[in-house]
Chains A and B, each alone.
Chain A
C-alpha cells in the first residue's frame, strides 16, 4: 500500500476483554514501531521490531501487552484483559532503516483509537 495502514480505526471494548490491533507497514520497511498516545500525553514507546532481530519490548507497560510481527510485515498488538487506563490512540510506524547511522524517516499510520468502557 501507499502508506502505513492500521485497523480498526476505532475500537470500543468492555473492561476485561482482549483486543487486537493491526498494523500493515509500508512494503519493504524493515523497522516497525508501536506507540501509545494518551489524552494530554506524548508518544509513549511500546515496542520496536527490526528485521529478524529480537524485538525491543522495553516500553510495554505490563504483561497484558504483547505484539507480534509475522513474516517481517504485518504486526498485531494484543492487549489482554483491557483496563480503562488502556484507553488511548495506538500508533504504528514503519521505516526503511532501523539500525546503523543512516537517516530514518518513520511513517505513521492514522492510529487506532481504543476506548475501554
Chain B
C-alpha cells in the first residue's frame, strides 16, 4: 500500500540550510508535494515536483527527487525563524493525496 515516511524533528540554527527528507512507496506517484503547517494554521502548499523531474528550485527552496530510491527532499537555504513549522511531504498516484508524518522544523537563533 501507499506509505510516506519522514523524520519527526529537525533543529537548525538561523542562517543555516535545512534538509527535510521523505521516502514514499508508490512508484506510480505522478506528483510529489511539500506542504507547510505553521502553528495554529492549516496546511499550505509550498512547492511540488513532477515525477519526471530530478530537481526543482524556487527561491530559497530546492526539491530533489530520486525516483529510483523513492526519496524526496526539501532544502531550505538561509533558514529563518519564520520557517519554523511542520513540513509534510505528500504523494499523489492515480487519485488521492497521501501525506507523510510531518517533520517539525525548529529554528534557533
- Residue numbers of A with Cβ under 8 A of B are 4, 33, 35, 41-43, 45, 48, 50, 56, 91, 93, 95, 98-99, 101, 103-106, 108-111
Contact A33 B97 (CB under 8 A): yes
Closest 9 CB pairs of A and B: A42-B101, A43-B99, A108-B42, A48-B96, A108-B43, A42-B102, A105-B45, A110-B42, A99-B95
Given A43, A105, A111, which contacts B88 in the complex, CB threshold below 8 Å?
Answer: A43
- Residue numbers of B with Cβ under 8 A of A are 6, 30-31, 41-45, 48, 50, 88, 92, 94-102
Q: For chain A, what secondary structure do more than half of its interface residues adopt (helix, strand, loop), or is it mixed?
A: loop
Contact B99 A42 (CB under 8 A): yes
Whole-angstrom CA separation of A48 from B97 in the bound complex: 9
Once A43-B102, A45-B99, A48-B95 are accepted as A-B contacts, the answer to whether A103 and B42 lie under 8 Å apart by CB is: no
Contact A45 B98 (CB under 8 A): yes
Whole-angstrom CA separation of A95 from B50 in the bound complex: 17
Contact B97 A104 (CB under 8 A): yes
Known: A42-B99, A93-B97, A104-B97. 8 other contacts (CB 8 A): A33-B96, A33-B97, A42-B88, A43-B100, A48-B96, A56-B95, A91-B42, A108-B43
